[in-house]
Structure 1
C-alpha cells in the first residue's frame, strides 16, 4: 500500500487570549514545523469578517510562508475567485511562482460572490497563467487546484485539466462520486490519469488527553457558531466550565451525513464567554453531534459512508490534514 502524503490546510484561527497578528505568526511557525516533519503541502485558507480567523489575504500569507520555508509546496486553499479579477490573481501568482519556481500552488474556491460565471472566470485564469498570458510568466507556473465539495466542481476541474480537492470536512457525502466524475472527465480532457486530494478534519496533539481537549473546544466553538455567535475558539478552560443542556447533548442523532453537533440549534445554552485556543487548526462545516466524545470516535463517524479514492489518504496524491 502506498504511503499517504500529508499536507496542511491552515485557517489561521485566532485563540481566545491571542490576537490576529499572533495567529498569523503561529501559522509561519506551523509551516516550518510541517516542512521539518515531511509534509508535502501547506495551504492558507481565505476567510473574511470572522473574529475566529486571521487569514483574509491568503496570497500574502503564502508569500510569507514561502520565504520562511525551503522546499515544501506552499499555496492557497483557496483564493475565492468570485471576489477578484482573474487577471490580478494571475499576476499575483505569477510573481510568487517567479520568486519560488516549482513550489507554488494556486488553490481556488468558488464562494464569496455570484457563482454563475465561475466556470468562465476559472477558464480565464487558467489561460492567463499559460503561455502568452500575464507578465511575469514564471518559469514553472503555479499548480492550479479547484477546491469543491460536490460533483459539479469535480467535473469542472476535470474539464479544465486542473487538480481537484474534495472538501470532506465541509460536506462528507458524495466524495467517491465526485472523484469518479473528476477522474473520468480529466482523462477525457487530457488523456492522462488524474490524482486529487481529500481534505479531512483531523485532531492531533502530543497525547490523547490533549487531543480530547482540543476536540471539545472545537465542538463548543461550532455549537456557538450555529447559534450565530461567531467568536474565537474557546480554550479548554472555558470549555471545561461550559455545561451542555440535555437537548444540546443529544440533538441530531442519526443525521444523514454522520453525527453533527446541533446543540446550539437544539437548546445548548451559553454559560460563559466564547474564547479560543491559539493553536487551533480547523475546518468549517462538518461537526460532530451530541455531547463531546473521544476524537477517534468523532473522526470515524465523520467519515461514515465515504471510501477515500486512490488509497487511505484519498486522491492518490495528498491527504489534507487539518491541524486543530
Structure 2
C-alpha cells in the first residue's frame, strides 16, 4: 500500500532552549522537508504551555509558505471555539489568495465551549465560500470574505473521537484523526466518516488522514533514547508537570517514580517506534486498518537534527518521492541498516 507522508509540528520547546529557538527550528524543518515529497506541513495551536511555542498557527503558516515551494501548509489546528469564525475565514482566505492551492485550514473543538462548534464550522464554511454539503445545521450563512475567484483553503475537521468525524462527514469536509492522543476510537471514527460522507460540490470523495506520533533513527539505541525522552515528557505532563522536552542527559540521570512508569506505559501505546523498516511496516498496516492513504506524522525530539533525520528515514522507507522539479536537490542518501535488534523494553 502506498501512503502519503505529512507532518504535524507542535514547535516543541526543549530543556535548555527557548520558545524563539523552537519557532526557528520549525521554520528550518519545513524548509528542509520542502521538495522531499511530503504532502502537507501543519502547525499546532497550544496555549499556556511551557512545552510548546506555537500559539498562532496562522502566523507560522504565513512564514512557512514564504520560504517553501512544494508543501501544502496550514493549521493542525485552529482551536475554533476561541475565535470568531468569520475572522478565521478572513485570515485563511488571505493566505490562500497569496498562495493558491497550498493552504490548509484544520480546525478543532478544544479551547472553549464545544457545544457551538457545529454552528461555528457552518459559519466558517459559508464565509469561505464553500457552503457545507448538508444544509439545515445551525449557523447563519455569512457572505464570502473575499471575491469568489480566490481559491479557498482546504478545510479539515480534526478530532480524537467520533463527534468531529460525524460532523465532517455531514458537512463534506476532510477529517484527520489524532491517533497520537487517543488510538482506540480511530477505526470507528474514520469508519463513520468514510461511510457517512456527504459530497459537496467540487469535492466528490472523502479525504481522511491519521495523525501518528513516530520515532525512528539509524540505530535502535538512538530510538530508545528518543522514546525514553518522549515518555518522560509525556508522563510528567499527564501528572501535572507541564515542562519542556527533557535533554538526553536529564533522561539518563532520571530516577523514574512508580506513577511515572505507569503513565509512561500508557503513553507508549500511542507511539510508533523502531528501525525505519519496523516503523514503515507498522505505519502501512495502520493506514490500511483505518482506511486512509495519508499519515500526518508528529516527531518530538530534543535535537531538531534528530527530528529531521527521522523524517528523512521515514520518507525513504515509505518510498516517498519528491516532485520532479525538486528531485535533483532532494534525493535521499543511501542509509546503512544495522542488524535487526531483539525486542527490548524502552522503559527504565
TM-score by length of 2: 0.75
Report what 2:267 is aligned to. Answer: 287
Report what 2:248 is aligned to. Answer: 236
Q: Quick one: structure 1 residues 196 and 315, their matched pair in 2 at CA, closer, same or farther if it must change by over 3 Å?
A: farther
Judge conservation of contact 1:150–1:178 (CA < 8 Å) in 2. yes
Q: Quick one: structure 1 residues 250 and 107, their matched pair in 2 at CA, closer, same or farther if it must change by over 3 Å?
A: closer
Report what 1:24 is aligned to. Answer: 23
Instruction: Kindly indicate whether residue 334 of structure 2 is the aligned counterpart of residue 323 of structure 1.
Output: no
Judge conservation of contact 2:236–2:260 (CA < 8 Å) in 1. no
Secondary structure of the structure 2 residue equivalent to 1:228: coil
Report what 2:315 is aligned to. Answer: none
C-alpha distance in 2 between matches for 1:187 and 1:90: 22
Report what 1:134 is aligned to. Answer: 145
1:177 counterpart (176, 188, 191): 188
Report what 1:296 is aligned to. Answer: 274
Shift, 1:205, TM fit: 3.0
What whole-Å deviation, never above 9, does each CA across 1:163-213 have from its counterpart, x for those lacking one? 000111111112111111111221476793312000111013343322221
Q: Quick one: structure 1 residues 188 and 66, their matched pair in 2 at CA, closer, same or farther if it must change by over 3 Å?
A: closer
Counting only pairs closer than 5 Å after superposition, residues 239-250 of structure 1 correspond to structure 2 as 239-245=251-257, 247-248=258-259
C-alpha distance in 1 between matches for 2:237 and 2:260: 16
C-alpha distance in 1 between matches for 2:87 and 2:148: 13
Secondary structure of the structure 2 residue equivalent to 1:14: coil
Secondary structure of the structure 2 residue equivalent to 1:261: helix
C-alpha distance in 1 between matches for 2:232 and 2:213: 16
Report what 1:196 is aligned to. Answer: 208
Judge conservation of contact 1:261–1:287 (CA < 8 Å) in 2. yes
Instruction: Kindly indicate whether residue 59 of structure 2 is the aligned counterpart of residue 47 of structure 1.
Output: no
Judge conservation of contact 1:15–1:233 (CA < 8 Å) in 2. yes
Report what 2:238 is aligned to. Answer: 226
Secondary structure of the structure 2 residue equivalent to 1:22: helix
Q: Quick one: structure 1 residues 159 and 294, their matched pair in 2 at CA, closer, same or farther if it must change by over 3 Å?
A: closer
Consecutive unaligned residues in structure 2, runs of 5 or more: 131-142, 301-348
Secondary structure of the structure 1 residue equivalent to 2:107: strand
Report what 2:115 is aligned to. Answer: 116
C-alpha distance in 2 between matches for 1:193 and 1:136: 26
What whole-Å deviation, never above 9, does each CA across 1:252-280 have from its counterpart, x for those lacking one? xxxxxxxx526xxxxxxxxxxxxxxxxxx
Judge conservation of contact 2:215–2:272 (CA < 8 Å) in 1. no
Consecutive unaligned residues in structure 1, runs of 5 or more: 252-259, 263-285
Counting only pairs closer than 5 Å after superposition, residues 242-261 of structure 1 correspond to structure 2 as 242-245=254-257, 247-248=258-259, 251=262, 260-261=263-264
Report what 2:101 is aligned to. Answer: 102
Per mean C-alpha deviation after superposition, the further-off stretch among 135-144 and 177-186 is 135-144
Report what 1:207 is aligned to. Answer: 219
Secondary structure of the structure 2 residue equivalent to 1:200: strand
C-alpha distance in 2 between matches for 1:183 and 1:147: 14
Shift, 1:225, TM fit: 1.3
Per mean C-alpha deviation after superposition, the further-off stretch among 177-186 and 69-78 is 177-186
Per mean C-alpha deviation after superposition, the further-off stretch among 151-160 and 188-197 is 188-197
What whole-Å deviation, never above 9, does each CA across 1:279-298 have from its counterpart, x for those lacking one? xxxxxxx7127xxx99439x
Judge conservation of contact 1:91–1:136 (CA < 8 Å) in 2. no
Counting only pairs closer than 5 Å after superposition, residues 142-157 of structure 1 correspond to structure 2 as 142-157=153-168
Q: How many residues align?
A: 282
Q: Which has the higher helix share?
A: 2
